[in-house]
Each structure stands twice: as structure tokens, then as C-alpha cells.
Amino acid sequence: MTLEQILTEKTDEALKSLYGGSSDKIAFEKTNLDFTGDLTLVVFNFLKISKKKPEETASEIGNYLKSALPEVADFNVVKGFLNLTIADSFWLDYFRSINGKSFIQPIPEDAPTVMVEYSSPNTNKPLHLGHVRNNLLGYSVSEILNAAGNKVIKTNLVNDRGIHICKSMLAWQKLGNGETPELSGLKGDHLVGKYYVAFDKQYKSEIAELKSKGATDEEAEKNAPSMKEAQEMLRKWEANDKEVRELWTVMNGWVYEGFAETYKMLGVKFDSTYYESNTYLLGKEIIDTGLEKGVLKVREDKSIYIDLTADGLDEKTLLRSDGTSVYMTQDLGTALQRQKEVHFKKLIYTVGNEQDYHFKVLFLILKKLGFEWADGLQHLSYGMVELPEGKMKSREGTVVDADDLMQEMINTAAATTKELGKVEGLTEDEANHLYQTIGLGALKYFMLKVDPKKKMLFNPSESIDFNGNTAPFIQFNYVRIQALIRKATESGQFDNKKIFPEIVLLSPKEKELIMKLYTFDTVLQQAALELSPALIANYVYDLAKEFSQYYHETPILKEENKELITFRLQLSKTIGVAIKTGMSLLGIEVPERM
């Protein structure tokens, strides 16, 4: 039972004993820095029960808790706020219980299965800055949910078919002259993306020409020769045309190889991968079932749709008039296939907030089709990443490429680290690994420290800073702890197996640090509930910042009392474990030396 649970239970007992009543609004929070105490109880909610003034009510509850619980050393009352001081003995007992142990508990055998989908790239272009946030967010949420006691399956849905894929295929067919990744020296995904941009350039030229001859915007976009050819290629693909399918297989193969390199550098993995080219057929079967049930309808042009106007939405097309599928078709099929395969309790889609409406419609359609498990579907909607210049556009080639971005971060980390003299004594390989660890750590932390729901402006120069709320600052303090432990061990001042004595007088900062460690699991569970790595990121930063202050203000190895040296080293080492664990939940590595 946690301290908060003990206090809540005993406070409820106090209300019954003192006033003959009870309340479901008992909640403790960290005491404001302006007041003395560790935890605060707001008593205004209890005044109807006590029928007394706030100060009197708080004092009576405080006296009851102090006499009933050895954990409560003292209390003070400020108006309707009861501030409790928790005994040092409680915090020391807690610290002894975690000293040398992991902050992550084993996953129970009966843990629920949670599937987290992220990445979901299109095979017509390389991964860009927006994909970076998506992958980092999805991967971190998966790690957090896993640490919080769920069986997590990380999954990817590759959008490997559709009109956008045909655009790059058509452009390569017309302009490529047999160009391959090997011949061009480009990664496969970059090569295919090059032709996607080429298609858009040609398409816009055709639109301009048609408009100059009097066509409207809509007419020009619909009748442009390139678009008509791409649509015909899509129809051939769905009809299993041999030539189109062969070209599709080759070009997608190039892209998959390129993606694999990017994922490896980014440090994200998947337990399963689904392909739209397979799942859209199952989606068509669902549509047939929906027609039989009368849930779906057919228009005069033979397109199939569902009418959601009664639910405040609109009419959603599920199959075009020519029989080709849309995104919703494959999403229906993929969801059903996943449920059949893994029987998930929850399926979380990590997709930007531009698709909020899409998922609202998807979940509602599945419910109307009678799939009860649709209640376990959730959209992790996150804000888009923007540049100072505005939104990115893949078809215009104005994106920040993920590979270029990661290399730029590593190069910046190298320059900054060398300038600060943090590579002395390292071999060339060790230094290069350090640059990568710092550079990619800075990128990941910058992306994840922001609430996922918020739109963010990407600014790489702010992320690589050894001061402030950054990964390098956290990494440096972890390294500082490791250096401290190594020095103490080599000098014979530290024996990690030695248990510090029962009586240790905690300094305010030591108490604060142990209290911070105590909240690790609470923050973890809240991050899992809110699907927010930002809670973990800011917790780890606060812990590193508190340790940094402690390190500068408190003698550790220079302390004369050897038992205090042992305690302070064990506290420092445990803080290091918490930092490393928290950063790993963000997918960030911490170096041992710098």
C-alpha cells in the first residue's frame, strides 16, 4: 500500500470517527514550496460533514493522523490546507526497499494485450520530420505501457498501395531510364521520393495548361493526363496486371530497404508489420457484410457509403464507383485482422490530429457493424511538427528529411561536445558513439518533452544544450553520477553491499530526492494513462536538476562521516538508475562517460 493510500484510508477513518461522515474527495498533493510540509490535504470538501471552520477541521484531522500514523511526524494548518510532514524514517525505509533494485516491475501473466500502431509510412517517399515525431511517440508510448504492466505489441501499417504510390511509379516509368539505388547512390526511399516530386511537378504543369485553355480548377485537376494515367495504373494494380505488379514490387523493395536503415538509426522497432495491399481485401469483405446487414448503402454511381449524418458526421464513401478502395477500406480490414490474430484489449493508433475525423468515423463504423471490441480502439492524436517557414509538403520536396535531420543532429553534437572538451580520453569509436548518443538523444527528448496534443515548432539549436531542459543536460548528470561511483569505488570509499545505518539525518535536499524517487511509479502510471511521454521526460529532467543542485551543495566524497558517504553514494547511484530507466522509456540512451 502506498503512502497516499495509507493516508487516504486513515483520513476516511478520521472523518467517520470525528464527524460521523465520509467523503470520496480525499486527495493529497505535494505541499506548496511556500509552506512547511511534504503532502497537503485540502479540507474544504469536508466542511459539510464537520460543520466547523476550515482551520478547526484541518487541525482535528491533523491531530488524528499524527496520533494514528507513525509516518506523520508533524503538521501545520494554513486556512483550509492541512500540511503534513512525513517522518524521515518512512523515506529511509522506502529508500532501503529500492536500493539496488529496478524501478520496473515484471509484467503479470494475465496482463492485458495492447497494440500500438505507429510509423504507418507511404512507400512513395522517405520518412521526414513528421514521421520522426510519430515514430518516437509511438515507440515511447509502447515502452511506457509495457513498463506499466501491459503486454504491448508494437505494430506498423505500411501504406504500400494507392494512387500516391502509382504517381511515383508512373514518373519513374517515364523519366527513370532504369535508375536504381545502386546506380544513383541514393537510398531506395529517397530515389522513389524523387519521382514522387517529379510527378507533382508535371501534374501542376498540366493543370496550368488546362486552366489557360479555360478549364476550372476542378476540371483541370480531374482531366490532367498524368492523373488519368495514375488512376488507370491503380485500376491495373487492383486487377493484378503483371507488369504493374512487378514494377510495384521492385520499387517498394527499394523503399523498404531505405526505411529499415532509418528505423535502425532512429532506434525504433516493430513486433509486427501489416501491409495495406493485403488488408484492403479483408476490408472489402467487411463492406459486403455491411451491405447484407443494411448498414451500408449503394449510390447510383455504384459507390458504397455509410450515412452517419444522424450521428453528427457525414456520408462516408467506403468504395469508389469503379470498385477501388479508400483508406477507410483497409483500416476496417486491418482492425479486424489484428483482433482475430492477437485479441487485443486496446488498439492505439498513433496518428496526427489532422486525422481526428477519420478515426472518429472508423471507430463508429466498426461499432455499427457490430464489433464490440471497437470500444477498445483509441486514437493517440498528436500535434503536427512545423518549421519556422510553415507546414511541410512532401510532394513539393519541402520536407525535412529524417536521415538528413539525424545526421545534422549528430554533427551538431560532435561540434558542441568537442568545444566543451567532453571527449578527452575517448577513442575515435567511443567519441563517434558519444556524438550519436547525444545528438539523437537531444532530438528524441526535444520531440517527447512536449505534450503530444500540442503542435510543436522544431528548433534543433535549442535541443543540444548542456544546460536547461534537454537530453544532454540529463545525460551529463547521469555521467557525473557514474564518474562519482567509479572514483569512490577505485578509492575504496564505496561498498554498494554495505547497508547504511538505521539513523541517518536527512538534509532537505536528500528528502526531496527520495520523495522524487518515490513518485516514479505514480508518474509512470499517469503517463501510461494519458499516453504522454512528456510526463516521463519532465520527471527525469526534474530529478536530474535536483541531483545537480545536490551534487554542488553537498559534500559526498569529502564528507567525514563514512556512513553518510555510503548513504549519499547509494542515493546517487539509485538516482542514476531512475534517470537511465526513465530515459530508456523515451528510447534515449545514456552514455557512461563523456
Asked if 477 and 335 sit in the same domain, the reply is: no
* Cα-trace Rg, the chain: 29
* Among 214, 116, 73, CA closest to 506: 73
Average pLDDT value over all residues in the chain: 92
pLDDT band for position 347 (50/70/90)?
very high
Please check whether residue 590 lies inside any domain of the structure. Answer: no
Asked if 82 and 162 sit in the same domain, the reply is: no
Q: Strands, DSSP E only, in 361-439? A: 377-382, 385-386
Asked if 138 and 270 sit in the same domain, the reply is: yes
CB-CB contact of 53 with 7 (8 Å): no
Structure confidence at residue 69 (pLDDT):
97
pLDDT at 432 over 80: yes
Asked if 549 and 578 sit in the same domain, the reply is: yes
Asked if 387 and 520 sit in the same domain, the reply is: no
pLDDT at 465 over 80: no
pLDDT-above-70 percentage for the chain = 97
Structure confidence at residue 231 (pLDDT):
93
Between 80-94, 353-367, 389-403, 461-475, the lowest mean confidence (pLDDT) is in 389-403
CATH at residue 504: 1.10.730.10
Structure confidence at residue 345 (pLDDT):
97
CATH at residue 24: 3.30.1360.70
Structure confidence at residue 502 (pLDDT):
66
Q: What would the pLDDT profile of 541-554 be if each residue is shown by its tens digit? A: 999 999 999 999 99
- The average pLDDT across 165-176 equals 96
- The average pLDDT across 118-122 equals 95
Please check whether residue 92 lies inside any domain of the structure. Answer: no
Structure confidence at residue 468 (pLDDT):
85
- The average pLDDT across 397-409 equals 83
Domain boundary among 86, 105, 128: 86
Between 96-105, 130-139, 181-190, 469-478, the lowest mean confidence (pLDDT) is in 96-105
- The average pLDDT across 223-230 equals 96
Structure confidence at residue 466 (pLDDT):
78
Please check whether residue 208 lies inside any domain of the structure. Answer: yes
Asked if 188 and 285 sit in the same domain, the reply is: yes
Please check whether residue 537 lies inside any domain of the structure. Answer: yes
CATH at residue 360: 3.40.50.620
Q: Which domain holds residue 11?
A: 3-86
- The average pLDDT across 330-357 equals 95
Structure confidence at residue 391 (pLDDT):
47
Alpha carbon distance 290, 329 (integer Å): 12
pLDDT at 79 over 70: yes
Domain boundary among 396, 415, 433: 396
Please check whether residue 113 lies inside any domain of the structure. Answer: no
pLDDT band for position 501 (50/70/90)?
low
Please check whether residue 250 lies inside any domain of the structure. Answer: yes
Structure confidence at residue 389 (pLDDT):
57
Structure confidence at residue 394 (pLDDT):
41
User: What cell numbers appear for 304 in the block?
Assistant: 458504397
Classify the phi-psi angles of 240: left when phi > 0, otherwise alpha if psi is within -120 to 50, otherwise beta: left
**More confident call, 347 vs 93:** 347
With b for 16 or more beta-carbon neighbours within 10 A and e for fewer, the 474-507 pattern comes to: bbbbbbbbbebbeebeeeeebeeeeebeeebebe
Q: What would the pLDDT profile of 505-534 be if each residue is shown by its tens digit? A: 899 999 999 999 999 999 999 999 999 999
- The average pLDDT across 298-325 equals 92
pLDDT at 10 over 80: yes
- The average pLDDT across 482-500 equals 85
pLDDT-above-90 percentage for the chain = 79
pLDDT band for position 180 (50/70/90)?
very high
Q: What is the 3-state secondary structure (H, E, C) of 422-480?
A: CCCCCCHHHHHHHHHHHHHHHHHHHHHCCCCCCCEECCHHHHCCCCCCCHHHHHHHHHH
- The average pLDDT across 255-280 equals 94
Please check whether residue 249 lies inside any domain of the structure. Answer: yes
Please check whether residue 40 lies inside any domain of the structure. Answer: yes
Structure confidence at residue 398 (pLDDT):
55
Asked if 535 and 581 sit in the same domain, the reply is: yes
Asked if 73 and 211 sit in the same domain, the reply is: no
pLDDT at 191 over 90: yes
Q: What is the residue type of 585?
A: L
Structure confidence at residue 66 (pLDDT):
97
Asked if 53 and 75 sit in the same domain, the reply is: yes
- Integer angstrom CA distances of residue 33 from 203, 241, 440: 62, 71, 35
Domain count, the chain: 3
H or E segment and range at residue 116 = strand 113-117
Domain boundary among 370, 396, 422: 396
User: What cell numbers appear for 479 in the block?
Assistant: 555521467
Asked if 373 and 436 sit in the same domain, the reply is: no
Asked if 576 and 541 sit in the same domain, the reply is: yes
pTM of the model: 0.91
pLDDT at 57 over 50: yes
pLDDT at 63 over 90: yes
pLDDT at 290 over 50: yes
- The average pLDDT across 168-187 equals 96
